[in-house]
Chains A and B, each alone.
Chain A
Amino acid sequence: MPGCALPGTPLADALPGINACVHCGFCLQACPTYLNLEDENDSPRGRIFLMRSLLEGTVRPDDPSVQQHIDQCLGCRACEPVCPSGVPYGQLLEATRATLRESRPTPFLARLILFVFARAWLLRPAMFFSRLLAATPIPTLLSGVKGRLGFAMAMLASTGRSIERSRYNAIGRGERGRAATLRGCVMDGLFSATNRATERVLTVNGYAIVDAPGQQCCGALHAHAGDLENARKLARRNIAAFEKSGAEFIAVNAAGCGAIMKEYGHLLKDDPEWRERASALGSRVRDVSELLAAAGPRTGGALPIRVTYDAPCHLQHAQRVTDAPLSVLAAIPGLELVPLHDSDQCCGSAGIYNLIEPDTSDAVLAPKLANIRDTRAPWVATGNPGCLMQIGAGLIRADIPARSIHPVDLLDASYAAFGQ
């Protein structure tokens, strides 16, 4: 492009991706924000056009409406699988957010959250506090309060509602290789039971669990918000930690984390020292459902419940993993899987989006809840903490008698039932 208005920015580097867009519009109907906000500025094609305009200089990075439309993107990447030209939208979005960050401050709430997540010493007490809070009746009491506080409380309340199961001893031969699990921050903080279940079901299915001390937050939230610097910092630490663990697979039970870790190579593409290592590590990252599906997975005891499945965007669009979670559920005898209408649509969670853009998030969530209600299933399985909490909170607040749950927890409960 002659006369690039933003030379040397991450966005300028992303120009080839922007140029791949031929403006065909096939992405419009795949975009949850376009369907809800009904303005092309809030569609992939429109946002790419804004990105191009930023580079052409026809709009300025400090233009508030440009910032608003870029902010309003969920980053669900539902546009990527429908794009015939293969526009790497997720990467373009990150590059844009990184570029815009330079010209304006990140909103205080987002900054605070990202600040905490980047620091293990702050994150742990924060999560501890959240966990303590979740164990009390307070979140449930406050979950009906209007606005963000109520929603946040409902999110916390939703984390304390997993399926009952007895203890069992997970025994396996480890014949499928060594796997280190990403503990994650939200998963570790609020879904630690799911993390333990993940280790148990992997063990049963022939993976030897190894420890990877020194691992950090994956950096996804930072990258999505355009804070590439901190995302890279976290990525480097994780690469080092997982390399040292000697694991053949890095098992991730949070779709958002898995997506970024698989793309560490892209994140560190300009870092000659880490580029190769990042790609190598990325190629060993698997969603837990992929590892389980590769092993069958083994059948457990009967769990006669009705379950519907909602596909996390970062699993189906970003990682293109669609069948594996279904085969996990299929391994549970007695489980009745009810199809969820528009299960491929985003739930509106999108990392910290539901806290930063509450209105759009609610609008995106509403049809999801209605569809869940229609299935009359008491359980909604989905493999990402953001989605678990977003859907879980929505169900509580809409008074729908259903709970969100990680597929791994269901498989774990099935194994527990077998043990009895």
Chain B
Amino acid sequence: MTPPSQLNASAVADRLAEIVGDRHVLSRQSELLVYNSDGLPGYRRQPRLAVFPGTRDEAIAVVRLLADEGLPFVPRGAGTGLSGGALADDIIVVGLHRLKEIISLDIDNRRATVESGVVNLRLNKYVAPYGLLYAPDPSSEAACTIGGNVAENAGGPHCLKYGVTLNHVLAMTVVLPSGEVVDLGSKSGEHDGYDLRGAFIGSEGCFGLALEITVKLTPRPQTVRTLLADFMSVDEAARVTSAIIASGIVPAALEFMDGPTIRVVESSIYAAGYPKDAEAILLIELDGLEAGVSADLEVVRQVCVEGGARNVKVARDDAERTKLWQGRKKAFGAMGRLAPHLIVQDAVIPRTRLSDILETIHAISEKYGVVVCNVFHAGDGNLHPNIAYSADDPDESERVHSAMVEIMRACIDAGGSITGEHGVGLDKIGYMEAIFSETSLNAMCALRSVFDPDRRANPGKVVPVHSCREWNAVASARGAASVREPMPLAAEPARPSARSRNLESDLWEDR
């Protein structure tokens, strides 16, 4: 293990500035404030420094400097994550958003190599003229980076048919926390030996920084049809979802929005024309060859009608289709209209349990007197219960957090997972022991230690430190102080908001 840095923050900042230029190192507390949260601002952690390398070489040099000094750091893309994963608690943020070069595009072999800061939607717009697309489409696609997608193994509505980031990344050039640069995976798609690329994807910044990523591109389907089915009960829509999946048709996407969500979207600039009086809608997309899609469309329509759909509408053209999707994709943002604060949850349940879990969530929301907006990827059972509330009201905050904990428990009890696409980060770390045994968590810790023996990359995320047997043995042998030597404080850290304190204490006390 490298010795902890003897440098103070301003000396580190100077050294970093030599690499990336003055303008791209932030050390003033007031300028670091905006980096104290990601897309889930209920959590705030004030970083000590932020550095934004502009080239891959600069990024490598930055990581090497941090390695030489034994300084912990947190990689960050666009800061749109929803698990508090990119927060740096008094340590260094390494932002990769300036690495935005699309390095190469191989149209015939349908692959592209990009720097990690390339924005998902920008890649898609770039390849669209060639009849190609990059399939993973998280709702934050307009802002999130491919590097961030790799770190979180991001999903999106169309993952139902096309798979998540894991299924679309062929190879990566990675700088490990030690500063060593390694190539993972193979641009040809297959390789032997351990699937280190697979292990790296979804490692939430704990294994190093992906600098260069080669992704698979998918041909644009010949035909896309988007259906909007509306229901007067949540239960009917849930049952129809299960029935469509059971029918064997694999829709490109199958999305669910409940009444409160519909109404908030319809009051936003992304109003999509969803019926405001409905209690649930399903947004179903079928794609592929024209002939096959037409046949499936009739089956799906039939299932919807038989399942109690009030109306089933098919988007007439691309403009209407885009509008229907914009409403869905911006729904989470639109909830800012309801109340000043928002909790976005992410859990997965077996698809046959949709109807009863939604009922359970409803009962929990009644019990705690909170309004849950459900907008989620129904096709793969990936729930996103969201609660808008005011963190300034301690009583309401308390109720909201209790409700969320209970919802998560119901999902776990149903045989589900605590996160389908947002990642564990800070937000879910308290639940990890509810779904993984001690030996499993320890195996994860061991894997992390191979990539990052000193635990300097994104410390304190994903796996609770106390469950890491080997690490704890090492740490206690060295004396706990050597695990992370904080740099001397230059200024008071930002005071955490009331809600972040509440949220965490709830999770931790809950264990």
Contact = CB atoms under 8 A, between A and B. Distances in A.
Given A65-B31, A66-B30, A85 B52 contact: no
Given A24-B140, A58-B494, A65 B30 contact: yes
Contacts of A40: 34-35, 79
Contact of B330 (A26, A29, A66, A69): A26
A39 B80 contact: no
Most chain-A CB neighbours within 10 Å: which of B35, B54, B340, B342? B340
Interface in B3-33: 23-24, 26, 28, 30-31, 33
A212 interface: no
A409 B389 CA distance: 52
A328 B30 CA distance: 47
Most chain-B CB neighbours within 10 Å: which of A40, A45, A66, A69? A40
A82 B143 CA distance: 11
B98 interface: yes
Interface in B266-301: 268-270
A81 B330 CA distance: 12
A1 to B, nearest CB: 6
Contacts of B54: 38
Nearest to A43: B34
Q: At the interface, is chain B mostly helix, strand, loop or mixed?
A: loop
A29 B337 contact: no
Given A39-B52, A40-B35, A50-B33, A84 B28 contact: no
B239 to A, nearest CB: 30
A21 B337 CA distance: 9
B460 interface: no
B333 A84 contact: yes
A49 B331 CA distance: 21
Interface residues of B, number: 44
Given A25-B143, A40-B79, A85 B336 contact: yes
Contacts of A1: 392
Contact of B31 (A21, A24, A41): A41
Interface in A38-93: 38-41, 45-46, 49-50, 53, 58-59, 63, 65-66, 69, 81-87
B142 interface: yes
A294 interface: no
Contact of B39 (A25, A37, A46, A49): A25
Most chain-B CB neighbours within 10 Å: which of A23, A24, A37, A50? A24
Contact of A38 (B98, B268, B342): B98
A58 B79 contact: no
B121 interface: yes
A39 to B, nearest CB: 7
A25 B82 CA distance: 11
B78 interface: yes
Contacts of A19: 336, 340
A2 interface: yes
A22 interface: yes
Contacts of B332: 22, 24, 84
Interface string B86-124: 000000000001100000000000000000000101100
Given A2-B392, A85-B334, A29 B31 contact: no
B495 interface: yes
A28 interface: yes
A53 B37 CA distance: 13
Contacts of A370: none
Nearest to B340: A19
B41 interface: yes
Given A25-B140, A29-B121, A50 B334 contact: no
A100 to B, nearest CB: 13
Contacts of B41: 22-23
B257 interface: no
A126 interface: no
B30 A28 contact: no
Interface in B299-350: 330-337, 340, 342
Given A1-B392, A50-B33, A28 B494 contact: no
A120 interface: no
Contacts of A49: 33-34, 37
Contacts of A45: 34
B319 to A, nearest CB: 13
A171 interface: no
A20 interface: yes
A53 B119 contact: no
A372 B27 CA distance: 38
A66 B98 CA distance: 22
Interface in A318-359: none
Contacts of A24: 39, 80, 140, 143, 332-333, 336
A85 B34 CA distance: 19
B154 to A, nearest CB: 14
A87 B80 contact: no
A34 to B, nearest CB: 9
Contacts of B34: 40-41, 45-46, 49-50
A8 to B, nearest CB: 19
Contacts of A29: 119, 121-122, 142-143
Contacts of A66: 30
A19 B389 CA distance: 11
B334 A38 contact: no
A69 B34 CA distance: 12
A158 B325 CA distance: 43
A59 B33 contact: yes
Contacts of B119: 29
B30 A25 contact: no
Most chain-B CB neighbours within 10 Å: which of A1, A28, A53? A28
Nearest to B80: A25
B52 A38 contact: yes
A84 to B, nearest CB: 3
Given A58-B495, A82-B142, A84-B268, A22 B35 contact: no
Nearest to B38: A23
Contacts of B38: 23
Contact of A59 (B30, B121, B334, B495): B30
Most chain-A CB neighbours within 10 Å: which of B31, B79, B333? B333
Nearest to A49: B34
A103 to B, nearest CB: 14
B79 A84 contact: no
A18 to B, nearest CB: 9
A40 B24 CA distance: 11
Contacts of A50: 30, 33-34
Contact of B269 (A2, A46, A63, A84): A84
Given A21-B336, A38-B52, A81-B269, 12 more contacts: A23-B39, A26-B142, A38-B54, A39-B52, A40-B34, A40-B35, A40-B79, A41-B31, A65-B28, A83-B269, A84-B333, A86-B337
Interface of A: 1-2, 19-29, 37-41, 45-46, 49-50, 53, 58-59, 63, 65-66, 69, 81-87
11 contacts: A20-B336, A22-B332, A22-B335, A23-B37, A25-B78, A39-B26, A40-B34, A63-B30, A82-B142, A86-B268, A86-B269
A-B pairs with the 3 shortest C-beta distances? A84-B333, A85-B336, A19-B340
